[in-house]
Structure 1
């Protein structure tokens, strides 16, 4: 399933995942950055991004109330379930930070200011939260196996199923 396309320049994660930090490596690992972008994709698919324009489809003249749960597509419902599972895995301490940075695209300094946190604390908590999300999504298992799209299965390495009865 392909996700929504995003502009890397608008993502606070992009800089943390691409620019070298002190040791020459980026601050976020590829699996942590990928987890944040997956969270953002599910948030977008779930239809939770704030609207900045009028939705004329739901006007009173349209002949119905609209906008109810019955109008939600299966894709949006599934995305909301995945988002809920990810937020549960992150826990109440980190889920708000992950939503603010990954989904609402707030900068780390803005988050620290709003929450009255010490400078650079959001950066460390974001890394912890994204590591938990990467673990939840399975991105931290066997470096590169999920990114390469390998199929995981039960059975011995030489097992071949019988086809045709």
Structure 2
């Protein structure tokens, strides 16, 4: 059984007020450490801290951009009406757009051959063995290729 720990993370829809000096509103999220394939690799010393940080940032951008498939209907409130100057974009929408751009720029920086393993393992949560089979790669090549991709991601995000 993998350990569970309570982490405090800023939810993608939470607004950060730069003018506010006091504590920001944070949501408490229970995170299963063994749930992420890259966290599993890092816990066994197979990834550096910079590689893990870059992978987590890519996954955060992926989730913040809302790129994952939805399995239920959206019950969000209807978008606000248009004003004279056109539709007013909310801060959450702008954050989503920025995350979407960062995600695609990161995958472009990684390169076409390495972006596949990044998406499957980091964003899709697929195991390395499953990603190797799906991509038609030889067994035990995924860790090496993922390490190279994470090094490029670390350079892109400035963590390595």
TM-score by length of 2: 0.70
Moved segments of 4+, more than 3 Å: 2-7
Unaligned runs of 5+ in 2: 1-8, 12-28, 80-88
Are 1:12 and 2:31 counterparts? no
Partner residue in 2 for 1:129: 149
Structure 1 residues 31-50: aligned runs within 5 Å: 31-50=50-69
TM-score by length of 1: 0.68
Residue correspondences, number: 125
Structure 1 residues 82-93: aligned runs within 5 Å: 82-93=102-113
Partner residue in 2 for 1:23: none
Deviations for 1:49-99, whole angstroms, at most 9, x for unmatched residues?
Answer: 1112222449xxx79xxxxxx788001000011111101110111111101
Unaligned runs of 5+ in 1: 20-25, 64-69, 141-165
Q: CA deviation at 1:27?
A: 0.8
**Secondary structure of the residue that 1:73 maps to in structure 2?**
helix
**Secondary structure of the residue that 1:105 maps to in structure 2?**
coil
Larger radius of gyration: 1
Q: Would you tell me which structure has more strand in proportion to its own residues?
A: 2
**Secondary structure of the residue that 2:139 maps to in structure 1?**
coil
